[in-house]
Amino acid sequence: MNSQKVIVGTRGSKLALTQTNLILEEIKRLNPDVSFEIKIIKTKGDAGQVNNVGAFIKEIELALLNKEIDIAVHSLKDMPTEEPEGLIIAAITEREDVRDVLISKDNLCLKDLPSGAVIGTGSPRRIAQLKKMRNDLNIKYIQGNVDSRLQKMKDGEYDAIVLAAAGLSRLSMKNVVTEYLSIDDMVPAVGQGALAIQIREGEGEIKDIVGKVDHQPTREAVLPERYILSSLGGGCRAPIAAYAKVEGDKISIQGMYADESYGNLKKSNVNGEKKESIALAEQLSKQLRD
């Protein structure tokens, strides 16, 4: 690494850049001698190929392995559970609001949308749970950044859309939210609301710099969530959800699993000692799979 200049890789969307800048502000505050430069990397996901596992991170990981960048900032929920050889997650930031939100054109809550209303989402996890709550709605695929999705709704393609609260909060756009969906109704994506900083293995200096923003309670919560995703065999395209909450020495984990056609949806939860989190995650995975 040249004299304390760290190259940071990220996607170029407004949300990705906002998230990266938020993290960098915090890292700079804790490492005043280090300067940073942001390098924007285009991914398959940005090009619309969102069905590949890791669509939003593969190219960034490649740049990291090729030493074109020193650190990468990702939304943790975009990261597959299998980490590429030679890379590690050096820090997981404190979690934002984990909930999903409904934004509707006429400011109607989910229960008040008329039968047949068109609701936009690209997430199998959200589709499965929406179908469980309101099987009479017309769920239509949507992709694109926050602004383009909102525009599509305004243009009349959709009556409502579902997004993550965390992204809207970071973009200072909470004002567009019609309704926050409860975690029981809409179990969040694994890692939702948390950001991950990825580095090359064995780079102690970089690890020390970014490790200062690692948030232990968030890390302790997302590890069992990622274990559940991995053990149920899901990439980010499977209807799988898990949310763990750490309080003192205790942990509670909620999970959701459905089949490929969004049917046979099952929800379950476990509670126990934090130190048993992986065993609890394994227990929950079995309950969901059965």
- 157 to each of 37, 118, 140, how far by Cα in Å? 39, 8, 9
CATH at 11: 3.40.190.10
Whether residue 271 is predicted with pLDDT greater than 80 in this model: the reply is yes
Q: Are residues 88 and 105 in the same domain?
A: no
Note whether 176 and 105 are same-domain residues.
Answer: yes
CA-based torsion, 111, 116, 118, 123: positive or negative = positive
Q: What is the mean pLDDT of residues 108-128?
A: 96
Q: 140 forms bridges with which residues in the sheet? A: 120
- Rounded average pLDDT over 259-264: 88
Q: Are 16 and 55 members of one domain? A: yes
Q: Let me know whether 85 and 116 are in one domain.
A: no
pLDDT of residue 287: 96
Same domain, 14 and 88: yes
pLDDT digits (tens, 9 = 90+) for 76-89: 998 988 889 999 99
Q: Return the active site residues.
A: 78
CA 122 from chain centre, in angstroms, equals 13
Please provide residue 20's backbone torsions phi and psi, each rounded to the nearest 5 degrees: -65, -45
Over the stretch 21-70, which tens digit does the pLDDT of each residue have? 999 999 999 999 999 999 999 887 777 777 676 778 889 999 999 999 99
Amino acid (1-letter code) at residue 54 = G
We report the CATH number of the domain holding residue 241 as: 3.30.160.40
Q: How far apart are CA 121 and CA 262, in angstroms?
A: 14
pLDDT in tens, 226-253: 999 999 986 556 699 999 999 999 999 9
Q: How far apart are CA 31 and CA 35, in angstroms?
A: 9
